[in-house]
Amino acid sequence: MKTMYKFYLALLSIAFVLGSCGNNGNGNGKKQGALGTNAAEKVYVAPGEYDEYYAFLSGGYSGNLTVYGLPSGRMFKEIPVFSQFPTSGYGYSEETKPMLETSYGFVPWDDSHHPDISQTNGEVDGRWVFINGNNTPRIARISLKTFETEEIIEIPNSAGNHSSSYVTDNTEYVVAGTRFAVPVPQRDISISEYKGNFKGALSFISVDPETGHMNIKFQILMPGFNYDLSHPGRGKSHGWFFFTTYNSEEANSLLEVNASQNDKDFIAAINWKKIEEYVNNGGGTKMPAKYAHNLYDESTHTATSTMNNEVLVVKPEEVKGAIYYLPTPKSPHGCDVDPTGEYIIGNGKLSTELTAHSFTKMLDAIENKKFDGDAYGIPIINFEDVTAGAVKSGGLGPLHTEFDDKGNGYTTFFISSEVVKWKVGTWEVIDRKPTYYSVGHLMIPGGNSQKPAGKYLVAMNKITKDRYLPTGPELEHSAQLYDISGEKMELIYDFPTHGEPHYAAGILASKIKDNSQKIYRLDDNKNKYVTTSQDQAKVVREGNDVHVYMTMIRSHFTPDNIEGIKVGDKVYFHLTNLEQDFDVPHGFSMIGANTSEILVMPGQTKTIIWEPKKVGVWPFYCTDFCSALHQEMQGYVRVSPKGSNVKLSWSLDGE
């Protein structure tokens, strides 16, 4: 077994060298592509025209989500999710700080991996996008009306929340699976007792069809393997969910060797409908678990964080006939289901082949008990009785697969740096195109649904090297856009991405565009500290706390002069932007404030705190160039010594 492993390693490194050399020709390949075809025309979106698709790329270690247009590759927005974000003040303003609360306290950073758009009847519907925080396990829901993070729920009993956050055909559930097995409940035990004692929790989070609100409906406590990626069954297999596993060896050290011993690991097939029925009838056990649930209320512009104290857990043996293991070669990474729901593709990352399991064969094998033993009581379906075939591509290191609308699959190969197109059902390879370099995920708009759009494919590459002008040792990752409308794929564009995009989700622009919110209506603003007109602006002292109810409109603040503030005070600036006009934010910046500035959208209220440290007269100003007289949008705060008797006073409009 060891020698087998060494053989793979050798194979991998040779291939990597070959791959790299082959690609080192720099711009040459690109020039041929661009000059040899009408590639430029295909990606050109003329000034004033719109892109055809939105693409939402995860930001990886930025913790955020970025929004691009396809085919232009133009970046429209970075949406802060699991990170404090200076550009908008998310996670800095008093209203949004609760979004980043967890059972570990305030955790203003994470590693975001897999965005997935909500679906109705197996089609992406453009209402929300979900994304996972990998490090401190969380799932976020982002509104595609406001493009703001509206909800974050922490996932207990989980670690390395990686096989997440994929949604079912009608967004009944968004799923989160643990990559690292951990003791459940967490306790002080020796790591060497891993085997048999650690568990892998798979969480099914229900989504309210109206509000989108998330709730952990149940967690399945699976054997302690590593649950790497997942995808829902769809169409005929709707009601099932599939998760790849590796480390079925349950090793706890030197995993690169010890977790590569078994020839096959598993795809876990979970009949969630069956388990849902079980818990709806009172099944499962409530166990104590602390996890935060953070919700942003659009009418108060304010988030709240609630700590939950228990979660419903289900052990596999409690629900007979709901969970099976499908043997899958060589530490599979991606777990992808074709648009019909018939085929479940395992991308064995130490393999050269892809394994296609058949849902129909799986049901038949279950019915006729074609099992090959079990793992901790979970039946293992006999390999021959569940596989439908293999894609023998000759590529190395398959990671992820997506599908088009014409019965083709597209798989990325990390080591041989390529995308391979193959036919679903016959498994023959149709085309292959190099990527530059080391491609991870790929995305076809609507890819995780019954209705993918077979026009563009975005390859998300891990290594950029010489694709762009150098920017020091660190380069942004590179995405590459392929036209997949024809028989052969055509590379038509390169564009840099921000952070490390893992997965992405794409959707026709027309499904989002007209629903996108333009302003917050002032008369709907229910923020506790809202000031709806300038004559209501005021300054209120409560002991050492001073509340400034301030308005902003082109091109002044009300009040713009405040006196009677003292060293040692805590000044709350409650800022309301009175504009009711699309795209006219105002910013607020106060010298010495440890949150530099805050951006307030039309009709919105936000609060920042300033603790004056020094006596003097200190200016503030608007940070967003909002009108010809933006530079005049400024004011002063007079700060007197502690104990001074300068009276609290402020200027109102026209006084």
Give me the least distance between CB of 612 and ligand CUA, in Å please. Answer: 23
Q: Which is nearer to ligand RUQ, 331 or 527 (CB)?
A: 331
Q: Which is nearer to ligand RUQ, 432 or 441 (CB)?
A: 441
Q: Give the pair of three-digit tokens for residue 14.
A: 């040779």
Residue among 622, 635, 637, 650 that touches ligand CUA (CB under 6 A): 622
Query: Which option in ligand RUQ, ligand CUA, none does residue 113 bind, with CB closer than 5 to 8 A by kind?
Result: ligand RUQ
**Is residue 477 within the footprint of ligand RUQ (CB under 6 A)?**
no
Question: Interface residues for ligand CUA in 503-562 (CB under 6 A)?
Answer: 555
Query: Which option in ligand RUQ, ligand CUA, none does residue 114 bind, with CB closer than 5 to 8 A by kind?
Result: ligand RUQ
What ranges in 377-465 are assigned the alpha helix state H? none
C-alpha distances out from residue 306 to 141, 154, 195, 293, Å: 16, 11, 35, 5
Q: Is 229 within 8 Å of 244 (Cβ atoms)?
A: yes
Beta strand pairing status for 634-640 and 649-650?
Answer: unpaired
**Considering only CA atoms, which of 324, 462, 480, 557 is closest in space to residue 16?**
462
Residue among 218, 427, 436, 503 that touches ligand RUQ (CB under 6 A): 503
Residue among 97, 293, 361, 441 that touches ligand RUQ (CB under 6 A): 441
Give me the least distance between CB of 623 and ligand CUA, in Å please. Answer: 7
Q: Which is nearer to ligand RUQ, 135 or 623 (CB)?
A: 135
Sole window of 139-147, 252-260, 379-387, 621-629 interacting with ligand CUA (rule: CB under 6 A): 621-629
Q: Which is nearer to ligand CUA, 7 or 625 (CB)?
A: 625
Q: What is the DSSP string of 471-512?
A: BTB----EEEEEE-SSSS-EEEEEEE-SS----EEEEEGGGT
3-class state of residue 648 by DSSP: coil
Sole window of 176-184, 216-224, 355-363, 624-632 interacting with ligand CUA (rule: CB under 6 A): 624-632
C-alpha distances out from residue 58 to 61, 156, 248, 389, Å: 9, 22, 28, 32
Query: Which option in ligand CUA, ligand RUQ, none does residue 293 bind, with CB closer than 5 to 8 A by kind?
Result: none
Using CB under 6 A as the binding criterion, the count of chain residues that bind ligand RUQ stands at 10
Residue that is written with structure tokens 């166990």 in the block: 287
Q: Which is nearer to ligand RUQ, 333 or 556 (CB)?
A: 333
Cα(120)–Cα(432) distance, integer angstroms: 33
Query: Which option in ligand RUQ, ligand CUA, none does residue 301 bind, with CB closer than 5 to 8 A by kind?
Result: none
Cα(363)–Cα(324) distance, integer angstroms: 10
Query: Which option in ligand RUQ, ligand CUA, none does residue 494 bind, with CB closer than 5 to 8 A by kind?
Result: none
Query: Which option in ligand CUA, ligand RUQ, none does residue 626 bind, with CB closer than 5 to 8 A by kind?
Result: ligand CUA
Give me the least distance between CB of 31 and ligand CUA, in Å please. Answer: 45
**Is residue 624 within the footprint of ligand CUA (CB under 6 A)?**
yes
**Is residue 333 within the footprint of ligand RUQ (CB under 6 A)?**
yes
Query: Which option in ligand CUA, ligand RUQ, none does residue 440 bind, with CB closer than 5 to 8 A by kind?
Result: ligand RUQ
Q: Which is nearer to ligand CUA, 160 or 587 (CB)?
A: 587
Give me the least distance between CB of 591 and ligand CUA, in Å please. Answer: 16
Q: Give the pair of three-digit tokens for residue 200.
A: 């892998």
**Considering only CA atoms, which of 496, 489, 517, 503 is closest in space to residue 582?**
517
Give me the least distance between CB of 114 and ligand RUQ, in Å please. Answer: 6
Query: Three-state SS string across 37-61, please?
Result: CCHHHHHCCCCCCCCCEEEEEECEC
CB nearest ligand RUQ: which residue? 440
* Sequence-ordered list of residues with C-beta below 8 angstroms from that of 36, at least 6 positions apart, any chain: none
Sole window of 42-50, 440-448, 482-490, 626-634 interacting with ligand CUA (rule: CB under 6 A): 626-634
x/- binding map, residues 577-616, to ligand CUA, per CB under 6 A? ---------x------------------------------
Cα(377)–Cα(316) distance, integer angstroms: 8
Q: Is 246 within 8 Å of 263 (Cβ atoms)?
A: no
Give me the least distance between CB of 610 and ligand CUA, in Å please. Answer: 18
Q: Which is nearer to ligand RUQ, 238 or 441 (CB)?
A: 441
Sole window of 261-269, 351-359, 486-494, 625-633 interacting with ligand CUA (rule: CB under 6 A): 625-633
**Is residue 465 within the footprint of ligand CUA (CB under 6 A)?**
no
Q: Which is nearer to ligand RUQ, 97 or 462 (CB)?
A: 462
Cα(363)–Cα(341) distance, integer angstroms: 13
Q: Give the pair of three-digit tokens for residue 41.
A: 């025309």
- How many other CB atoms are there within 10 angstroms of residue 313's CB atom? 24
Cα(624)–Cα(604) distance, integer angstroms: 15
**Considering only CA atoms, which of 335, 337, 381 is closest in space to residue 361?**
381
Beta bridge partners of 590: 620
**Is residue 91 within the footprint of ligand RUQ (CB under 6 A)?**
no
Q: Is 339 within 8 Å of 449 (Cβ atoms)?
A: yes
Residue that is written with structure tokens 């649930």 in the block: 293
Q: Is 511 within 8 Å of 493 (Cβ atoms)?
A: no
Query: Which option in ligand CUA, ligand RUQ, none does residue 503 bind, with CB closer than 5 to 8 A by kind?
Result: ligand RUQ
Give me the least distance between CB of 472 and ligand CUA, in Å please. Answer: 33
**Considering only CA atoms, which of 356, 463, 476, 468 is closest in space to residue 409?**
356
Beta bridge partners of 101: 106
Residue among 507, 548, 626, 639 that touches ligand CUA (CB under 6 A): 626
Integer Rg of the chain from CA: 27
Angle at 633 between CA 627 and CA 634, to 5 degrees: 165
Question: Interface residues for ligand RUQ in 147-166 (CB under 6 A)?
Answer: 162
**Is residue 399 within the footprint of ligand RUQ (CB under 6 A)?**
yes
Cα(86)–Cα(594) distance, integer angstroms: 11
Q: Which is nearer to ligand RUQ, 330 or 400 (CB)?
A: 400
**Considering only CA atoms, which of 30, 90, 84, 80 is closest in space to residue 58?**
80
Residues of the shown chain interacting with ligand RUQ in the complex, contacts defined by CB under 6 A: 113-114, 162, 333, 399-400, 440-441, 502-503
Binding site for ligand CUA (CB under 6 A): 555, 586, 622, 624-626, 630, 633
